[in-house]
Structure 1
Amino acid sequence: MTDSPSFFTRALHAGRSRQTAPSRATPIYLTAGFEFEDFDHAAHHFGTGEGFGYTRTGNPTLRAVERQLANLESGSDAVLVASGQAAVAIALLTVAGAGDHIVASTHIYEGTRGLLVDNLARLGIESTFVDEIRDPAAWRAAIRPNTRALFAESIANARNDILDIAAVSAVGDETGIPLIVDNTLATPYLVRPLEHGASIVVHSASKFLAGHGSVLGGVIIDGGRFDATLSGRHAPHLLAPGAGGAPSIFERHGGDARIAYARESVAPRFGASPSPLNAFLIGQGAETIGLRVERQSRNALEIARWLQAQEAVESVDHVGLESHPDHDLAQRYLSGGYGSIFTFTLRGGLEAARDFVESVQVFTHMTRIGDVRSLVLHPATTSHSHRTEQEREAHGIHPGTLRVSIGIESVDDLIEDLSRVLATVWEKVA
């Protein structure tokens, strides 16, 4: 730089510094790229992938949060992406390609179902859906020679169906097929699927992990147990030599081959990179996830029990209730609570549901879950509106069904809000 740089040059470079400070909070590296120390440093980065060059392929803020979330799920490593939908897509595209097949639970988020039956189908990836997810034989019967993944949710949205993680992962282990579990509703506070045999866990980090409804994000977490002998025939892309005869992904990363492939070849190429600011907020939220989920679960169970006793309520699908068909599985897998998202069905059908959502004051009417605030939605006319009436009925979605996501408010205030509204609903029905 000259002795007397121009105003324009000074405006760009005067604040430049490599000085670091030991911040207690995770620093936000809000930058698109990173400066290389010298010529060889750049070559080394592009040759090995080590360090940071461009935020789409890696960022110190993202890495800190990835390590945090992998640890919470008892995983080996993680890749943070821009949304929960991106996490599901990248996890599936890491293990499957054209001509492959996926076996999935019928009881999954509608956005994931659309991804499978529409988008991935157009890429030549077929899917088969299993309804009786408690039955290992049903999963086994759906597997084909070209099956590359089993996919399910730990707690299904919205009927609270519980996955028998150990039983289904054992079915996959028979032929080296990974079980991918969406653990968004349960969170790692209640259950950690990798500890029960699952291979990969995904989250919509926008929900409980971040917790405050302010950011979008998703994460893929791998158990680090990829076995080339057992699973190699299903994943030739992990065993094939790299460009120019370089070592394969498996030779370089061993048991972490799957997550390394997601990080190096899938997530950055599809461009689903989160903002470092969003990553920071997800990491901040995750620091208090145990406190929030514990309270939300406790509030939800108390409300579910209260609703069960109300004349205006026909049924309550909360897995913490002894009446729920999966209560035994919930007791086996969930620790610290039964979750905070569930459905209940009002007597009076659609009009009762309409009156409810338009009358609540503490509950917020919106399409979201996992917030610190309590939320309500009518699935039949929103999230499940594109399903047939028969399909909705089969999944416990009736005209009077409402889904609630319980927050951290005073449970007394929530019940007071519900009591006021249900009294009006009952007056019209009775």
Structure 2
Amino acid sequence: MRAHTAIYTDNSSDKEAFARKLLHGEAPPALSFLNGEKGAYFSNSSLSGFLEAEARYDYSDINLDGRTLKTLSSGERKKALLKHLLEKQPDFLILDNLFDNLDPSSRETLKGILEARAGDLLLVQLLSRSQDLLECIQNKAFLSGDRIMGFPNYTPDTAKTHSTRFTGALPPAPDPSPSLPEVLIDFRKVDLSYGPTPILTQIEWAIKKGDFWELKGPNGSGKTSLITMIIGDNPKAYGQELYLFGNRKGSGESVWDIKAKIGYFTPALTDRFRGNHTAEAMLISGLLDSVGLYIAPTDRQRALARSWLALLDLSDRARTQFRNLSEGHQRLLMCARAMIKHPPVLILDEPTAGLDAASASLLISLVQKMAAESDTAILFVSHRKEPGLQAPNILELLPGKTGSRGVIHTSKGQ
């Protein structure tokens, strides 16, 4: 039956292969009405392709009225991608975790756009969380590998959770902690604008050793800009009262000196690791700050990587190719890779985006353990309220006419 269809996914689902089949006219019998139709694919991987093209050629096909994808928040990028795809006038649109990286207002905006087009555009929604289901959906199935099951009346098990919690001590840092001031990151009345558009106003925020922060705010409020100012990727940080590890930004410390003190993970980073790298090699590459492992590791490095694999209950996957791991296991490894050196600061930018509830719960458990058992200051960014996340400090960005101001909430009475 020709109808809007939801395809539920989990770690066994090969969404990319399934989407390719639909786009190439190789739909399964249940969705044969899509064969011969023009399709488009809305996904984080599609967006990564545009970002890579922009980085290489300083140009992408998405019209942004003078701005670049890099300067947009993750939510703004998704809005721009949807607008771009709809302008291509496809017959059907594959929506892969449409609402990840979006605040509630932006979700409602995209819902309205799609509902307005539902009369003349077929929707195939790939989703990992049942609460994201579009109201116009009629058929439902589950994606096992690249094959659908339970069509058209599949019912997800919403009670399914992941009860596993990590046991054993967090593996130690490979080297002694560097001598750094108590306040690692210090914003002092920092303002930020792009051209005539104000983004941040008078931000005052101090991150200390061992702090655990959650960064919140709607799409476009400046979260991405704030992060890029910390990790050294935003030239707007120069000239500001911004201190990184005791040095004022622009006073002589190089971007690479700054990056060496920061562990950083966002799901888009996994797209950079396309070689034949094992799970063990991926972890060891975190010790070397390399994209993959191209030199023989030492026995000490191997031992540390194996300690992390044991903690993650992935010892039997040490020689498995990273690309062949489930998405949930890839995320756990990438978070461990960012943490393996016990950096002074660890930034986790939307690490649960696209994960099913069970996998997200497991990753949150790892984050909580890292916060409890290390001196690393952790900054967690997400639009979705993740059960189990207990960051005692929250910086909330509240947009206004002069840019977003920061409001700090804390359970420590600071």
Q: TM-score range by the shorter chain?
A: 0.3 to 0.5
**Higher fraction of helix:** 1
Choose 1 or 2 for highest CA Rg: 1
**Higher fraction of strand:** 2
Give me the TM-score of the superposition, normalised by structure 1: 0.33
Point out which structure has higher relative CO (alpha carbons under 8 A, 6+ apart).
2
Give me the TM-score of the superposition, normalised by structure 2: 0.34
